[in-house]
Every structure is written in C-alpha cells, then in structure tokens.
C-alpha cells in the first residue's frame, strides 16, 4: 500500500521537475542574428524564417540556451510597396531549437530592438582602433544603443552607471527602460542580467535601418506578431541583421 502511494508521488515530482525544465522564463532576452533575409517584395506568406542565438543565454535553474541554437518562425504577411507605397512584412518567431539537442520549445517572442548588419559589425570594432599589443578580449567597444564595454576585466557602462559585465561573445547586463522609445526594463519579475550580445541595456527600436519602423513589436495582441513597415518603397532586412527578442508567454516543450 505504501508503495502505491509513494511511486505515484515520485512520478508526479519528477514530471513536475521535467515540466519546469521545459520552459523558457518569461521576460528572458534572446539575442539572435538573422539567417534569412526579409523582403516585402520577395518573401512569401508561410515562408520559414530562422535566426541564430549569438551568446549563451542564462535561463535560471542552472540551464543555458547555448550560442548556436536556432530560433525559428515564419512569414505571416508580405505586402509589396506597389500596393500602397509602403512595404510591409510580418513575422512570428514561435520555436526554439536547442543546439546539439533534439528538444524544441514552442514560445511567444516579442521584439525589443533590431540592428542592421553594419551596426552589428561596428559594435564589435574597438573604439580606439586595433592595437597589436591588445587582445580582442580587452577591447573597448560600444554597443548598439550606446553602452560602452570595457573588456579585459572592466564593466559595461551606460554613461557613468555600471549596468553589466563583459561575457564571452557579448555582455550580461540588466535591462533598463527606454520610455522615450516605448521599451520597458525588466518584466515578469525577471531582473537578472540578460545576454545582450552587441546590444545595450536600453536598446529599443530600429538601428541602422532608417527607412524601417517597427509597427507592432508583438507584446500586445496579436502577441508574437512582429510587423515591420517601410516609410517608402519596398522593405528589405538582410540576413546578418541582429534582433533582441524577449520571451512572452511561457510554453511547454514538445518531443
């Protein structure tokens, strides 16, 4: 009789632990680089969109979403500028495929910031020029959005305020709000330092893409739907562009 009570209890405990490990924490930031170009003139509804995680992402509970993992999605809408003078494209990222694992997590992601390929590259170039006597790990660089990174043991600073620390392939920084551009700081109680890759702690909106605005970031309904609109002509976001995504609704893993 005791076994009949204990065994189901143990099973439920293990199942609960497995379930907790099958979730991405709400409010967590995921920095990615597009593998797929987006075009209002050429992309097709239903077309697959993929992006690559660019820095190890701490998830809490001792878990890490490794650099090289994939974030997958699809095109929801693509309208050529020939219809009304403005190009539009809507995408949804709804699945994370872990590097070196078969596990895929369904998830709802919103967009906090996007940066052009050139801005991404510039954020990795030392501010004071390469020095033969200085290793890359000790460069001083400026993040997309303005934070300065003092590598080689220094901090990450937003002005005079320390907001984070350098990390392999990026930084770990506390999110700060950017009310002028409509971005919040930490959400869902997730105030731990986030993996931001080349982005600053207050990065918000579009950088290096002057003809493109984020018309809907996916935070509100329809949740997870990210809509880009061109100010004029067709819209093109090339592969290599960087995105700062944030986990919204918590979703359970599938086999």
CA distance 57 to 171: 10
pLDDT of amino acid 12: 38
| Token pair of 197 as six digits | 């890759």
pTM score, whole prediction: 0.86
| Token pair of 134 as six digits | 């200085």
Q: Strands 194-195 and 70-79, how do they pair?
A: unpaired
Task: Identify the CA nearest to 53 among candidates 39, 40, 34, 36.
Answer: 34
CA distance 254 to 105: 6
Q: What is the DSSP string of 96-142?
A: EE-TTS--EEE--EEEEEEE-HHHHHHTTS-TT---TTS-GGG-EEE
Which helix (H) or strand (E) is 18 found in, with range? Answer: helix 2-20
Is 67 in contact with 197 (CB distance < 8 Å)?
A: no
Average pLDDT by consecutive 10-residue portion of the chain (255 residues)?
Answer: 45 37 83 97 96 96 92 96 84 90 86 97 83 67 96 92 95 95 90 96 96 94 96 93 88 41
CA distance 44 to 38: 9
CA distance 43 to 228: 13
Distance between first and last Cα of the chain = 34
CA distance 64 to 215: 31
Let me know how many helices (H) and strands (E) the chain has, helices first: 2, 20
| Centroid of chain to Cα 57 | 10
CA distance 194 to 206: 20
| Centroid of chain to Cα 106 | 15
Cβ-based neighbour number of residue 42 at 10 Å:
13
Boundaries of every domain in the chain: 2-247
């Amino acid at each position: 009789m005791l076994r009949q009570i204990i065994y189901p209890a143990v099973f439920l405990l293990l199942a609960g632990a497995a379930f907790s490990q099958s979730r991405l924490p709400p409010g967590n930031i995921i920095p990615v680089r597009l593998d797929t170009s987006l075009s209002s003139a050429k992309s097709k509804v239903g077309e697959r969109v993929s992006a690559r995680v660019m820095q190890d992402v701490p998830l809490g509970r001792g878990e890490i979403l490794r650099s090289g993992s994939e974030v997958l999605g699809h095109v929801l809408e693509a309208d050529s500028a020939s219809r009304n003078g403005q190009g539009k494209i809507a995408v949804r990222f709804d699945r994370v495929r872990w590097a070196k694992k078969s596990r895929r997590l369904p998830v709802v992601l919103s967009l906090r910031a996007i940066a052009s390929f050139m801005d991404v590259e510039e954020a990795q170039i030392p501010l004071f020029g390469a020095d033969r006597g200085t290793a890359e790990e000790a460069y001083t660089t400026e993040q997309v959005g303005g934070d300065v990174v003092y590598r080689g043991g220094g901090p990450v600073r937003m002005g005079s305020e320390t907001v984070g620390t350098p990390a392999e392939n990026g930084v770990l920084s506390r999110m700060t709000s950017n009310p002028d551009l409509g971005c919040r700081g930490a959400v869902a109680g997730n105030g731990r330092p986030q993996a931001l890759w080349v982005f600053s702690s207050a990065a918000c909106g579009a950088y290096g893409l002057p003809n493109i605005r984020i018309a809907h970031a996916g935070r509100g309904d329809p949740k997870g739907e990210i809509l880009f609109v061109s100010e004029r002509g067709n819209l093109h976001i090339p592969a290599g562009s960087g995105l700062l995504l944030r986990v919204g609704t918590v979703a359970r893993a599938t086999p």
